[in-house]
């Protein structure tokens, strides 16, 4: 839906084939980062999304980690994304994925370039010389053939589009069967009143070898979800899930189950995000355990990366080769996310639990537990996906695209642009164009050189002219070329003599 909106806003005719008539009421994908909320701002859906939240705003997307049980007394704040708030234009948000999808469906319906086909399923995808053919079927058995220039499979971890395109996957299986419980409980809300403002809670238990028991709020006071490893062969009928919940919390409370489901804990990464005119995005391209709220946010970033590149290609101001940069940028970032943050945290938790035990040496455990809190804060700052190794940005020599970085106001090629106030009183994010934007702080004619070059190349470019003062000096560059996805393509101090070459590289022409 995000990809369709990004294309529809640019006037690109798009068809969305979606098998479900209505969003499915399973609470997943709840944590939306500040970066993701920037997307909703540019999609024109931020206000509607915030109005749809199911938990009061003072319950952020941060959570708590406990040792042994929720109520053990050993806990610290975790995933404190508010620590990096100054580097993004918008606040984070939290609401169930079905509520998010409802907002996106409503926004998509407002854009005349988008054709929404609910209740249809893709059965076949095949490439032809000048496009792609998609065979779809309705719930009543009606069949249709669709033809498009490009197809993107956003159809989940069991993607039909990926399979039929012949895109293989690399899988790292952790051999864990997980249960997802959705339940109602007012007593659990009362028990957790001692930890105000938290939306989710994960429990580290020595028996689980670093894997989590994980509680999350769906609303405030009543509905919850819970993930945890369970023995192989567990079914809805042969396991005491109420006891599992009570053991994880460290107390008994009322439980009324609404959903019991299972999933396999594994990491998968498509070996390519593209096969000719067929692409994959979101869980079809990559999947991992729901640890840390990385999944839905990664999928939205895939969509935003693809949308402007499709538009540039279809509208003719970039070559088809620009689309290769989607894989070059997004695939290594997810590989790093999975390896350096999610999987690394499992191994780090496993090692900690083996080395430190309050029953064996309480003083040692408590000192190590306090140190973990500091490490959790550092991890939030270190998660800063960037495209330093991309062929279409002017990154540093030897740069690589990765999820590991650091947050700073300095404008750096391949990195997300930090917000900053302009002399007009507006934030630079309120002035960014839908194409490329040049932030010109030189107080010279440099911006005009870029405008002439862009006009000659047919590249949409907006120039924001201002001074390198009143906070803008923290960009540490007077010329900043910003891509349509708010990543910096080029940042330096010069006279614009190389404007044409800079723009050509930024759209994949060189």
Q: Can you say whether residue 318 is alpha, beta or left, with left for phi > 0 and alpha for psi between -120 and 50 degrees?
A: beta
CA distance 148 to 133: 7
pLDDT digits (tens, 9 = 90+) for 278-304: 999 999 999 887 776 688 999 999 999
**pLDDT in the model for residue 60:** 63
The closest of 215, 191, 193 to 203, measured between CA atoms, is 215
**pLDDT in the model for residue 264:** 83
CA-CA-CA-CA torsion for 10, 328, 488, 9, nearest 10 degrees? 10
Q: Which helix (H) or strand (E) holds 350?
A: helix 344-355
Would you list the domain boundaries of the chain?
Answer: 2-54+95-168+271-318, 408-506
Please state which CATH class domain 2-54+95-168+271-318 belongs to: alpha beta
- Sequence-separated (6 or more) residues with CB below 8 Å from residue 300: 2, 36, 39
Residue spans of the chain under pLDDT 50: none
**Which fold does the domain 408-506 belong to in CATH?**
Glutaredoxin (3.40.30)
**pLDDT in the model for residue 292:** 66
**pLDDT in the model for residue 43:** 98
pLDDT digits (tens, 9 = 90+) for 249-258: 999 999 999 9
**pLDDT in the model for residue 87:** 97
Crossing angle of the two packed helices 294-315 and 34-42, in degrees rounded to 10: 40
**Residue where the block lists tokens 């299986």:** 173
DSSP state string for 139-154 = TTS-EEEEEES-EEE-
Looking at the DSSP assignment, which residues form a beta bridge with residue 461?
436
Residue 189 in 3-state DSSP? helix
**120 and 225 in contact (C-beta within 8 Å)?**
no
CA distance 81 to 94: 12
**313 and 320 in contact (C-beta within 8 Å)?**
yes
- Sequence-separated (6 or more) residues with CB below 8 Å from residue 126: 132, 133, 164
Pairing mode of beta strands 200-204, 212-217: antiparallel
- Sequence-separated (6 or more) residues with CB below 8 Å from residue 389: 328, 332, 395, 399, 400, 401, 402, 414
Measured at the CA of 47, the angle between CA 45 and CA 51, to 5 degrees, comes to 115
């Amino acid at each position: 839906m995000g990809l369709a909106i990004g294309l529809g806003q640019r006037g690109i005719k798009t068809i969305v084939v979606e098998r479900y008539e209505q969003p499915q009421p399973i609470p997943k994908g709840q944590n939306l980062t500040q970066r993701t909320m920037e997307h909703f701002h540019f999609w024109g859906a931020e206000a509607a999304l915030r109005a749809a939240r199911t938990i009061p705003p003072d319950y952020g997307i941060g959570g708590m980690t406990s040792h042994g049980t929720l109520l053990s007394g050993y806990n610290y704040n975790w995933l404190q994304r508010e620590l990096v708030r100054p580097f993004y234009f918008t606040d984070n948000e939290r609401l169930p994925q079905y509520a998010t999808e409802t907002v996106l469906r409503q926004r998509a319906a407002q854009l005349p370039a988008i054709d929404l086909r609910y209740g249809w399923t893709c059965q076949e995808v095949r490439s032809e010389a000048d496009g792609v053919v998609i065979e779809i079927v309705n719930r009543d058995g009606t069949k249709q053939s669709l033809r498009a220039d490009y197809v993107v499979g956003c159809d989940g971890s069991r993607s039909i589009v990926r399979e039929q395109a012949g895109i293989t996957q690399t899988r790292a299986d952790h051999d864990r069967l997980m249960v997802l419980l959705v339940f109602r409980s007012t007593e659990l809300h009362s028990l957790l009143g001692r930890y105000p403002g938290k939306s989710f809670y994960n429990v580290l238990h020595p028996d689980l070898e670093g894997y989590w028991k994980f509680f999350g709020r769906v609303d405030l006071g009543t509905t919850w979800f819970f993930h945890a490893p369970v023995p192989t062969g567990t079914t809805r009928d042969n396991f005491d899930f109420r006891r599992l919940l009570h053991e994880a919390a460290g107390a008994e409370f009322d439980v009324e189950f609404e959903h019991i489901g299972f999933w396999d804990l594994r990491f998968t990464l498509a070996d390519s995000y593209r096969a000719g005119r067929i692409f994959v995005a979101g869980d079809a391209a990559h999947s991992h355990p729901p640890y840390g709220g990385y999944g839905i946010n990664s999928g939205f970033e895939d969509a935003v990366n693809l949308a402007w590149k499709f538009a540039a290609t279809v509208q003719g101001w970039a070559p088809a080769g620009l689309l290769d940069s989607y894989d070059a940028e997004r695939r290594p970032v997810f590989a790093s996310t999975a390896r350096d943050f999610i999987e690394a945290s499992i191994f780090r938790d496993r090692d900690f639990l083996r080395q430190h035990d309050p029953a064996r040496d309480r003083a040692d455990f408590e000192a190590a537990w306090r140190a973990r809190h500091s490490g959790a804060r550092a991890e939030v700052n270190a998660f800063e996906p960037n495209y330093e190794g991309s062929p279409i940005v002017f990154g540093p020599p030897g740069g690589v695209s990765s999820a590991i970085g650091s947050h700073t106001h300095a404008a750096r090629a391949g990195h997300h642009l930090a917000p900053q106030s302009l002399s007009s009183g507006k934030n630079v994010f309120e002035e960014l164009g839908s194409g490329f934007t040049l932030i010109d702080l030189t107080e010279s004619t440099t911006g005009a050189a870029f405008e002439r070059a862009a006009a000659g190349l047919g590249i949409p470019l907006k120039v924001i002219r201002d001074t390198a003062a009143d906070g803008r000096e923290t960009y540490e560059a007077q010329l900043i070329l910003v891509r349509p996805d708010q990543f910096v393509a080029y940042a330096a101090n010069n006279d614009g003599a190389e404007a044409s070459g800079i723009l050509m590289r930024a759209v994949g022409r060189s």
